[in-house]
């Protein structure tokens, strides 16, 4: 490549790099710097305190709970979303009647805005007027109206269910595209050898789409960990901090309590976790690309 062409590439990349620096990297660096300052609503003038804010957050009662809630939330949503998405993708890959309409209906939860989804499900979870209690009482699953979002025992499960309902079409689309790329001749050969549906799934289908599964799992890990609107609108992190995850804790601490230094510390921890997940995604993506080239 000539020197002129290299300069031309950098000239075309410059606007994007500047935009990313202003909108992404500058706020990220600012968050790290802010984490070393103590700022509150009562004393708005930032005061440099070094690692004192990190020690305060690390030794607080809220931090271990936020970490645990984030782990439960992320793993619960990712596991159930991908299992349900794969199951629905398998069904839609069978050539069912009205398959196009079924795919459109399945995609409806995904295209709804997160805030609209959260408000809709808050009404459905309402202890007195909600559809969930009415349906479960009629089925005999519960005896009385349950306050799903007001109890620390059920709030996390309730918001995880909503997130799975909204997010599984995303995984379903990825899995459906992968299933349609599986070599039909291998499936037919396995059938002629006497393999049943379960053996064909384990021995043929899953190995063929394994790179796609890994990429999808890591991608949904990143998206779910960074999710905000459903949890905040439905529970605001309550009750008793039972559903506070990193994004909601950052928002409440910074914009609700005006403790910007502590919010920045939570943001730094969140950035580090997301950096690890992003690195894992890049590694998995490169491994998948390498396997496709050698195949």
**24 and 82: one domain?**
no
Please check whether residue 92 lies inside any domain of the structure.
Answer: yes
Given this model, what pLDDT does residue 233 score? 93
Bridge partners, residue 47, by sequence: 38
- Residue carrying the six token digits 């914009």: 255
**5 and 73: one domain?**
no
**113 and 21: one domain?**
no
Given this model, what pLDDT does residue 132 score? 87
Please check whether residue 47 lies inside any domain of the structure.
Answer: no
Q: Give the mean pLDDT of the chain.
A: 86
**13 and 148: one domain?**
no
Q: How far lies 5's CA from each of 10, 13, 89, in Å?
A: 9, 12, 45
**Predicted model pTM:** 0.87
Average pLDDT over residues 174-181: 89
Percent of the chain with pLDDT over 90: 34
CA 292 to chain CA mean position, Å? 27
Average pLDDT over residues 82-97: 87
Given this model, what pLDDT does residue 292 score? 62
**23 and 79: one domain?**
no
Given this model, what pLDDT does residue 1 score? 57
What gap in Å lies between CA 57 and CA 265, rounded to an integer?
7
Is 148 in contact with 125 (CB distance < 8 Å)? yes
What gap in Å lies between CA 73 and CA 225, rounded to an integer?
8
Q: Which CATH number covers residue 150?
A: 1.10.3720.10
Please check whether residue 81 lies inside any domain of the structure.
Answer: yes
Given this model, what pLDDT does residue 142 score? 75
**71 and 21: one domain?**
no
Please check whether residue 1 lies inside any domain of the structure.
Answer: yes
Range of the domain at 15: 1-28
Please check whether residue 39 lies inside any domain of the structure.
Answer: no
How many domains, the chain? 2
**2 and 126: one domain?**
no
**286 and 194: one domain?**
yes
Please check whether residue 196 lies inside any domain of the structure.
Answer: yes
Given this model, what pLDDT does residue 42 score? 62
Percent of the chain with pLDDT over 70: 94
**93 and 166: one domain?**
yes
Given this model, what pLDDT does residue 43 score? 61
Q: How far lies 33's CA from each of 37, 42, 56, 128, in Å?
A: 7, 21, 16, 48
Given this model, what pLDDT does residue 294 score? 65
**7 and 107: one domain?**
no
What gap in Å lies between CA 261 and CA 253, rounded to an integer?
9
Residue environment code for 65-101, b if the CB has 16+ CB neighbours within 10 A, otherwise e: bbeebbeebbebbbebbbebbbebbbebbeeeeeeee
Answer whether residue 3 shows pLDDT above 90: no
Please check whether residue 135 lies inside any domain of the structure.
Answer: yes
**4 and 135: one domain?**
no
Point out the least confidently predicted range of 159-168, 179-188, 263-272.
Answer: 179-188
Please check whether residue 52 lies inside any domain of the structure.
Answer: no
SS3 for the chain is CCHHHHHHHHHHHHHHHHHHHHHHHHHHHHHHHHCCEECCCCCCCCEECCCHHHHHHHCCCHHHHHHHHHHHHHHHHHHHHHHHHHHHHHHHCCCCCCHHHHHHHHHHHHHCCHHHHHHHHHHHCCCCCCHHHHHHHHCCCCCCCCCCCCCCCCHHHHHHHHHHHHHHHHHHHHHHHHHCCCCHHHHHHHHHCCCCHHHHHHHHHHHHHHHHHHHHHHHHHHHHHCCCHHHHHHHCCCCCCCCCCHHHHHHHHHHHCCCHHHHHHHHHHHHHHHHHHHHHHHHHHHHHHHHHHHC
């Amino acid at each position: 490549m000539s020197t002129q062409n290299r300069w031309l590439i950098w000239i075309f990349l410059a606007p994007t790099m500047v935009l990313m620096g202003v909108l992404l990297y500058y706020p990220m660096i600012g968050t790290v710097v802010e984490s070393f300052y103590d700022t509150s609503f009562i004393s708005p003038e930032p005061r440099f305190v070094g690692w004192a804010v990190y020690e305060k957050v690390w030794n607080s009662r809220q931090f271990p709970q936020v970490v645990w809630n984030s782990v439960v939330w992320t793993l619960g949503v990712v596991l159930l979303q991908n299992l349900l998405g794969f199951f629905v993708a398998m069904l839609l890959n069978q050539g069912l009647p009205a398959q196009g309409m079924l795919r459109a209906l399945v995609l409806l939860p995904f295209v709804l805005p997160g805030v609209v989804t959260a408000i809709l499900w808050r009404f459905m979870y309402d202890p007195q007027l909600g559809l969930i209690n009415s349906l479960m009482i009629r089925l005999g699953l519960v005896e009385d109206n349950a306050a799903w979002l007001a109890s620390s025992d059920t709030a996390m499960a309730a918001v995880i269910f909503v997130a799975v309902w909204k997010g599984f079409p995303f995984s379903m689309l990825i899995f459906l595209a992968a299933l349609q790329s599986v070599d039909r001749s291998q499936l037919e050969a396995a059938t002629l050898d006497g393999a049943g549906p379960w053996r064909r799934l384990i021995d043929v289908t899953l190995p063929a789409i394994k790179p796609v599964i890994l990429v999808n799992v890591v991608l949904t890990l990143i998206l779910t960990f960074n999710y905000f609107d459903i949890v905040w609108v439905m529970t605001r992190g309550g009750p008793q901090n039972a559903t506070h995850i990193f994004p909601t804790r950052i928002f409440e601490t910074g914009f609700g309590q005006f403790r910007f230094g502590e919010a920045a510390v939570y943001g730094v921890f969140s950035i580090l976790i997301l950096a690890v997940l992003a690195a894992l995604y890049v590694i998995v993506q490169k491994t998948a690309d390498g396997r496709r080239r050698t195949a």
